[in-house]
Amino acid sequence: MQHLTLKELQKKLRGGETTAVEAAQKVFTQIQKHEPVVKAYLQTFEKDALEQAQKADELLRSTNGAAADKQPLLGIPLAIKDNMNLLNTETTCASKILKGYISPYTATAVQKLQAAGAVIVGKTNLDEFAMGSSTENSAFQQTTNPWDRARVPGGSSGGAAAAVAADECFGCLGSDTGGSIRQPASFCGVVGLKPTYGLVSRYGLVAFASSLDQIGPLAKTVADAALILNVIAGYDEQDSTSVKQPVKDYTEFLDRDIKGQKIAVIKELLGDGIDDAVRQTIQTALDGLRKQGAIIEEIAMPSFKYALAAYYLVATSEASANLARFDGVRFGHRSKNARDMLELFKKSRAEGFGAEVKRRIMLGTYALSAGYYDAYYLKAQKVRTVIKQDYNKAFARYDAVLSPTSPSVAFKFGEKVNDPLSMYLSDIATIPVNLAGLPGISVPCGTAGDAVSGTVGDAVSGATGGLPVGLQLVAGEFAEQKLLQIAAAVERGSRFERIRL
Amino acid sequence: MTEYEAVIGLEIHTHLKTRSKMFCACSTEFGKQPNSSACPVCTGQPGALPVLNQEAVNLAIRCGLALNCTINKKSVFARKNYFYPDLPKGYQISQFDLPVTSNGFVNIQLPDGAEKRIGITRAHLEEDAGKLVHQGAEGIEGATASHVDLNRSSVPLLEIVSEPDIRSAEEARAYLDKIKSILQFAGVSDANMEEGKLRCDANVSIRPAGQKEFGVKVEIKNMNSFRAVERAIKIEIERQKQVLTTGQTVAQETRSYDEAAGRTVSMRSKEESHDYRYFPEPDLLPLLIDDAWIDRVKKELPELAEQRIRRYQDEHGISAYDARVLTLDKAVSDFFDAAAKLYAGDKKSIVNWLTTDVLGYLKTENLELSQTKLTPENLVEMLGLIDNQTISGKIGKELIVQILKTGASARQLVETSGRRQITDESTLQKIVQEVLAANPQQLAQYRSGKTALKGYFVGETMKKTKGQAAPQLVNQILDRLLKI
């Protein structure tokens, strides 16, 4: 049962073939069984979840399943990344500075899940304040990749991706600032969607970089991601940057063929710096798309070479301000060794933040400093404009652009954590999408070196063979329907199979 | 000795009269239980986001119009970054390079009656910080404990920045008075300093008279009343003159005004000044204001001080000077309008009583009109008693102070004190005759041509009657008796 997709479970619940309580119980059994190794969750809410599941069952029973028309996620066990507020639960962002912080309110996207009947089973691990690409920056635990426990799950939504891959939930909300949904989805062989900036409310998502952050689903399939997006998308008056858009059914185009659809492959993201195994898997997936009638062409995106630099200026600048509220005054960690106000600020922050967070705060503070603003922050904003223009040119001719989600498959623990630059480079393909505010999705399109697929699920494999490869599609602003349509075609055309723990 | 000229610019922070805060729905009401007006947004909880209060924008536009500013079609909010326990987010949402209004002016009256134009650089929107309450010390330094009240956090403010057009402490005061009047008349702010709804910092420099370049600028903070602003500027100008005449140079710094000690004290040097690292607020879209919005605000704009000044001159024949004095404080002007409706006589007499006795009293007692018991009704009642000669104007001057203090009715005061005017001719004639008889020398001088001595006899008669003699009647009787 826990191996079902969200869509399959939805059908069974509605048809009375199973119950929400059973689904929740199966999920918690799976959690108990695999969490000692996977460590995807920072906390779980078994008691509350089962109570909610019971209520969902009563509703389903009394309405003969019709309640699910109004509440499409009724009784479905889902998780959320632990940087989203949920009333009266601890929200830590995997940081010591927020240890013990109890949310006084619920994030809009989470509230929408609840209103749609979803059962929230727990909050998943992440890189501290969503800063990282391996979830190794969590202050509390190391989440392992369900495909290979010696490898990272990616990040920063590593807990979310691992939980979905390990069938410890039927979907999870993640957040994506530079690839934090898509890259872990790619590493763990699940689907990860970052919607257009402004499609999903950020209210209640603890901000990392406000102009880049976006909440989106991590799911077992493209259809599941679409079902969750249906619930969380939409204007929210509490988020001024959310966009007034007519509500769409994102599942509408999923079964349509892609005959004649024009897809551009980004030349720069299939060349140097991309692992051979990844490139080969992507090439195979491209053949699959061609077979389905898509027209594949190659384009250049010359502005991408500035994307990483621009990203690390914009994101860190915004982060330096966003994280200023963690000062030990009102909530979170307060140093016990402070003798005066300045020491209170300094020591609380020194003790509470981890190394990567400090690194980014310092970088951002520097970039915004008097005399440097024009050369760094302003210049980076100009790069954003150029990247957007490059994308716009592409979307004038193509329905979507395509690349690997990440230059490599999941890497090993410790492999990059002491080399920030190489860690930053693992987001090279995903970062331009956030800078341009566009929707992007990572879909598993196969496993690396399919010849050695015998290693799938192997506990401590050394080779990269058999590890999932994510294919990234990017579409124009608010073109999520089209994006999901093509993603579904990738899914149909690939030989990928989800792992079963 | 070198003559120096002062160059002054003022930064005025004023609370906008909105019901809810700048970025959330919490109440702006003053004086509530600490931290009772607080929510995830204004306490800076992780993940909370600001939503702009449209009414704050309306008031900013309204103020911009009243200050003859350009209303900018596009303005941008920016984060001003600094750490302080009363600042929940660790940054203040303000405006930086693109303010909502800019390039305005106001005209102030100089002591010689001439008008002077003071330029307004900009007026921008920002949020207020919370309030700290310390135990064991005045400030956070040395306090045994400090408490944060976030009721004021995120209350909307407008910061009005003047051009360095002000040349003296008196001009600064006149400018402040003018701005306060404009804010009140436009219904933008109560502009009251006691509740912290108006705060002012001053930038002061001096330069040798005739020199074009500005001198080194010093920012003065912690001035808690209009009078304090005037005094602090005066003191700072003198200090800078002292520094320069002793061959030293003025340091660019921020100084704090110490009212008790009557001096300014260095707070921080230029090197220690904050780098606020402004950057555009990514949680808010640029503020776009179209002509239709501006027109809507224009239509709602109440009668401003300048319009009242014209009306007072046209309708009541009040002098331009008096009309200006009346409209310095909206409460006074509103009081006049109410009294004028009740009073059938010449409105100028209301003006006289308000501008001399009432305002004089407020000034010496350092009070606002609303802090007295005077009402348009009890003032008009007293004027009626003067008009029907029940009391003299002189008695009125005594009564008005009592009315201001107690709100008593003038009629009752007259009755209980017996200070009714003597209007009976025969009684008064007898008294005047006694006065003339008691002053034979002066009478002789008068008769030999020193007619100015008539005033002396009037005075003596008033003295003898303790001011109760009807002055007109005394004059008539004197004229008659002195002819003989």
| Number of structural domains in chain B | 3
Provide the CATH number for the domain around residue B454: 1.10.10.410
Q: Are B397 and B430 in a shared domain?
A: no
> For residue A452, with 0-12 CB atoms within 10 Å meaning exposed, 13-18 middle and 19 or more buried, which class applies?
middle
Average pLDDT estimate for B127-139: 91
Q: Taking CB atoms and an 8 Å cut-off, how many pairs form between chains A and B?
A: 103
In angstroms, the CA B26 to CA B43 distance is 11
Pair B245, B175 in one domain:
yes
- Whether residues A192 and A143 fall in one domain: yes
The residue from B397, B417, B437 where one domain ends is: B417
Among B52, B79, B146, the residue with its CB nearest the CB of A240 is: B52
Other CB atoms closer than 10 Å to residue B301's CB: what's the count? 15
Decide if A330 and B44 are in contact by the 8 Å CB cutoff: yes
CB contact under 8 A, A104 and B40: yes
Q: pLDDT: is B418 or A82 the higher one? A: A82
- pLDDT tens for B330-339 read 899 999 999 9
- One domain, residues B327 and B451: no
Question: B450 in contact with A at a CB cutoff of 8 Å?
Answer: no
The answer to the question of residue A501 being in a domain is no
Residue B465's pLDDT band (cuts 50, 70, 90): confident
On whether both A211 and A309 belong to a single domain, the answer is no
**pLDDT of the residue at A450:** 59
Whether residue A257 is contained in a domain is answered as no
Rounded CA-CA distance A25/B1 in Å is 92
Residue B180 has pLDDT above 60, yes or no: yes
Residue B236 and residue B341 in one domain:
no
DSSP A84: B
DSSP B235-254: HHHHHHHHHHHTT--PPPEE
**ipTM attached to this prediction:** 0.95
Judgement on whether residues B143 and B54 belong to the same structural domain of the protein: yes
Chain B residues closer than 8 Å to A84 by CB: 47
* Given the residues A138, A157, A175, A180, the one annotated as active site: A180
Is A460's pLDDT higher than 60?
Answer: no
Residues A203 and A119 in one domain: yes
Q: Does A254 reside within a domain?
A: no
Closest CA to A461 of A151, A37, A38, A144: A151
* pTM of the model as a whole: 0.89
**pLDDT confidence band for B484 (50 / 70 / 90):** low
Q: Are residues B406 and B447 in the same domain?
A: no
The domain boundary, picked from B417, B442, B474, lies at: B417
* pLDDT on residue A465: 78
A186 is catalytic: no
Question: Which residues 45-74 in chain B show a CB within 8 A of chain A?
Answer: 45-52
Shared-domain flag, residues A124 and A271: no
Q: Which residues of A touch B76 (CB under 8 A)?
A: none
Q: With respect to residue A181, please indicate whether it lies within any of the assigned structural domains.
A: yes
Q: Closest approach of chain B CAs to the CA of A336, in angstroms?
A: 15
Q: What are the tens digits of pLDDT across the range A238-297?
A: 999 999 988 899 999 999 999 999 999 999 999 888 999 999 999 999 999 999 999 999
Whether the CB of B156 is below 8 Å from some CB of chain A: the reply is: no
Clarify whether residues A55 and A109 are in a common domain. yes
Q: Of B296, B330, B357, which one is at a domain's C-terminal end?
A: B296
B357 lies in the same domain as B291: no
Taking residues B77-92, report their average pLDDT.
97
More confident site: A456 or B201: B201
Q: Which of B81, B282, B285 minimises the CB distance to A324?
A: B81
The tokens for A207 are: 């901000």
Residue A134: active-site member: no
Q: Note the pLDDT tens digit of each residue in B44-73.
A: 999 999 999 999 999 999 999 999 999 999
Checking if the pLDDT of A455 tops 50, the result is no
Among the partner residues B46, B83, B278, nearest to A206 by beta-carbon distance: B46
B265-308 tens-digit pLDDT: 999 888 777 899 999 999 999 999 999 999 999 999 999 888 99
Q: Which parts of B41-162 fold into alpha helices (H)?
A: 54-66
Proportion of chain A above pLDDT 90, given as a percent: 91
Burial A3-20 (b: 16+ CB within 10 A, else e): ebbbbbbbebbbeeebbb
Question: For residues A469 and A409, what is the distance between their CA atoms, to the nearest angstrom?
Answer: 6
**Nearest-CA residue of chain B relative to A209?**
B282
- Whether residues A378 and A489 share a domain: the answer is yes
- Measured from the Cβ of residue A272, the count of other Cβ atoms closer than 10 Å reads 6
Number of H helices, E strands in chain A: 16, 11
Q: Both B238 and B369 in a single domain?
A: no
Residue linked to tokens 């779980």? A44
Name the closest residue on chain B to residue A207, using Cα atoms: B47
Per-residue pLDDT of A366-396, as tens digits, reads 999 988 999 999 999 999 999 999 999 999 9
Our answer to whether residue A180 is catalytic in this structure is: yes
Query: Are residues B217 and B327 located together in one domain of the fold?
Result: no
Residues B126 and B36 in one domain: yes
Number of domains in chain A: 2
Residues A39, A81, A220, A416: which is the catalytic one? A81
Our measurement of the distance from residue A285's CA atom to the centroid of its chain's CA atoms, rounded to an integer in Å, reads 22
Same domain, A334 and A208: no
Question: Hey, what are A32's tokens?
Answer: 């108990």
pLDDT at residue A325 above 50? yes
pLDDT digits (tens, 9 = 90+) for B229-248: 999 999 999 999 999 999 99
Please name the residue that has the structure tokens 């599609």: A473
User: For chain B, what percent of residues have pLDDT higher than 70?
Assistant: 100
% of chain A at pLDDT higher than 70: 97
How far from each other are the two terminal CA atoms of chain A, in whole angstroms?
12
Domain boundary among A232, A252, A286: A232
The per-residue pLDDT for range A395-433, each reduced to its tens digit, is 999 999 999 999 999 999 999 888 888 888 889 999 999
In a shared domain, residues B198 and B260:
yes
Identify from A82, A317, A368, A373 which residue to disrupt to test chain B contact, counting B C-beta atoms within 10 A and taking the largest count. A368
B130 near A CB under 8 A: no
Task: Tell me which residue in B47, B91, B141 faces A85 most closely, judged by beta carbons.
Answer: B47
CATH of the domain at A175: 3.90.1300.10
Residue B90 near chain A (CB below 8 Å): yes
Last residue of a domain, one of A187, A217, A232: A232
On whether both A228 and A272 belong to a single domain, the answer is: no
- Find the catalytic residue in A95, A133, A138, A156: A156
CB burial class (10 A; 0-12, 13-18, 19+) of residue B404? buried
Are residues A212 and A352 located together in one domain of the fold?
A: no
Domain residues for the domain of B148 are 4-296
B205-229 residue pLDDT tens: 999 999 999 999 999 999 988 999 9
Going by C-alpha positions, the residue among A209, A161, A201 that lies closest to residue A185 is A161
Residue A296's domain comprises 262-493
Residues A226 and A180 in one domain: yes
Most confidently modeled range among A346-355, B372-381, B411-420: A346-355
d(CA B465, CA A377): 83
The two structure tokens encoding residue A311 = 């990203």
In this structure, the answer to whether residues B412 and B439 fall within a common structural domain is no
